[in-house]
Structure 1
Amino acid sequence: MHKQIRQYRQLIPSQRYQLQALHNKGFTQYQIAAHPSTVSRELKRNTPGEQYCAESEETLKDKRKKTVFKFRKHDARHEHILSEGLLMGGLLENIGYRMQLECPEIALSHTTIYRRIRENREAGGLFYQRLPRFGKTHWKGGKRKASQCLIPNRVDISQRPVIVEKRARIGNFEGDILSDQGTYLVTLVDRKNRLLLMAKTQVKTAEVVSNTINTLLNRISRVHTITLDNGGEFAQHEKVSQSTKAQIYFARPYTSYQRETNENTKGLVRRQWPKGTAFSPLTG
C-alpha cells in the first residue's frame, strides 16, 4: 500500500481489499499508506456500518457514478473572462476567486486556469504573453560573484529560528532593493501579513540603506527578524539590529526562494512600475 497510494485518486479493487485487511487488523492510517488522507477519505465515504467493506464499496462507487452531477468544465464564457482578467493584470489566483464570487457555476481553480493558458498556447493563442513573469530570465549560480564577503559578522539563514519559516507570527521581515535609472526603492515585507514598507533613496550606500531601514521599521512596534540578500548595501546590518532589536540573517547566494515573500512582492511592484520607469518622481 505504501508504494501504491502516493496521492489521492480512486482506489482499484485490489487496493480496497488490502485496505480492508489492514484496517480490520488495527493498522493506523499512517501505517497503511504514505498519504493517510487517501485512506481517511476512503473510510469516511465508504463505511456505512461499523467496519469498512471493500465489496460494498464497489457497489457504492458504481451507484455514485450513475447519479453524480457532471460539471461541464468547458464553457464559452471562460475565454472572455481569462482574456479580460489577464488584460487588467490580474493574478490567476485572483481571477479564480472572482469567478467563484461572480459566476460560481463555471468557476475554475487557479491550477485549471494555468492548464487552460497552456492549452491556449499550444493552440496558437497568446494568453501566456500576458502573464506577469512571461519570458523572465533567471541567473544561474556562478554567473556573478556573491558579495557576502563584503558583509562583516554575517549570520547565515540556516541559523534563523524555525518559527520564521512557519509564518506563525508578525514581525519577521524580508528586505531587498529595487533600482531603476539611478534611483532605488528599499523594500521590507512582513512574512505573515505581507505588509510592505518601502522608501526611495538616491544612493544605495550601506549607511543610507541602513538609515532608511531604521526609519521604515520605526513605524513597527515589534520586529523579530530581518532576512536580507548578500548585497554590500546591507553591510551595516549591525547598526539596524542595534536600532530595531531584531536578529538579522542573510540568505545564501543565488537562492532568491529563501526570500520568496519579498521577491513576490517586488514582482507586484514591478507590475505597477515596470523596468525602465523612473522612480525619481515618486514621493514618500
Structure 2
Amino acid sequence: MPADQLDLIHCLLRRGEQRKVIAARAGVSSRTVYRVLARLGSVPRPADAEYVARYLSQDERCEIARLHDLGWSVRAIGRRLDRAPSTISRELARNRDPKTGHYLPHHAHTQAWVRQRRPKPSKIAADPRLRAWVRYMLKQRLSPEQISGRLKVRFPDDESMRISHETIYQSLLVYPRGELTRELKVHLRSGRTTRKSRGTRTNKHSRITDAVSIHDRPEEVEDRKIPGHHEGDLIKGSLASNSAVGTIVERHSGFVTLIHLPEGWAAEKVAAAVSAEMSQLPAWFAKTLTWDRGTEMARHTDITAATGIKVYFADPYSPQQRPSNENTNGLLREYMPKGTDLSVHTREDLDAIAKQLNNRPRKRLGFHTPAEVFAKLLAEDQTKGVATTP
C-alpha cells in the first residue's frame, strides 16, 4: 500500500471515523482497514469523538433509566425514544447492577466506549482452558459445530466453557492471530484454509452477448395456444466423455426434437446442429426458441440468421421458466441416464427415442400424442394452402 494512502487511513482512524467511511475515503476495502487497525493493536479514541445516530447517546441512556424506574415497559420506552423494544431490552439486561438490579446509565455509557475498542481479543485467546479443549477436539476431527455442542455436554454448569461454532471458524479462517495455529486448519473436514464466500452468486454465463431476455418474448408464447414456440437445453453425459445431446420441445404440441452432437457441444457446433434440425420444420412451426443460459448458445445469432427463429434466454437458475423442456429432459434420462457417455447414441438412436416420446399420450393433450397433434396441424396448414390457391 502506498505510504500516503496508509497515512490517510491512520489519520482517519485517529479521528474515530467508521471503517466504511475510511474505506471509501482511502479507496480500499473495509477488510483492509480492519487489517491496518489489527496491526496497530488499537487506536486511542479522540476526546471529541461522538457516536453516530444508530448508537444510544448518554442522554438516551439517562432517559431509559428514568422511565424504567418509573415502571414504564420496554415497548413504551422504545416508543418514547423511537427505538426498537429489543434495543431497550438488551441495554437494560447488559448494564444492570448485579447487586441491586438497577440500570446504571453512566456506567453503561462508559462500557459502550470500552466495548467498541478494536480489535478485541477473541474468547479463545483469552481463555487458555477453553483454547486447550478446542485444540484437542479439532485434532479429534470434530467440526466446530460439534465442538460447540460437545462442550455444553461436557461442562453443563460452566458458562466459561461456551463458545459458538462461528467463533471457532473465525479464529481458524478469518482472523487468525495466533490463538489457534495454522496447522489446525487441516483438521477441518472441508479441507479449506480460507472461508468460502456466501455472497451473491456470480453469473457464469455472462459470455453470451446480445442475449434477449425471456421477459421480452411475445405474449402469445405464454398460453401454449399458438404453435411454433420451442424450449431447449442440453442434457450432458459423464465428465470424462464431455458428451451432450440437445433437446428441443414445442410448447403447444409437446413435439420433441433431439440434436445429435457427435463433435461436442461447443457453441459453433450447437448452433450448426440446431440450425440444421430446425430448418426442416415448417416456418409456422419454428418461430421462437427459449434456451437456458448455457454458454453453448453463445452463437445464438447464427441460428437466427440461418433459420429466422428468434432466440430468447431464461433467467439464470430458473428452470421453471422452461417447464416443457425440463419435463422432457426428465423423461429422456430413462434412455440416457446421468453419468453415462452420451456419445454412444447415434443419430438413428436419437431419432428412435424422439419417436417414442412423440408417440407417448399426454394428459394435457387429451391423451393424444405430440405426433398426432403435429400431424393435425400439418393437415390444417395444407388445407389452408389449398383453399387460398387461386
Q: TM-score, normalised by structure 1?
A: 0.48
More contact order relative to length (CA 8 Å, sep ≥ 6): 1
Higher Rg of the two aligned structures = 2
Higher helix proportion, which one? 2
> Structure 2 length normalisation: TM-score?
0.35
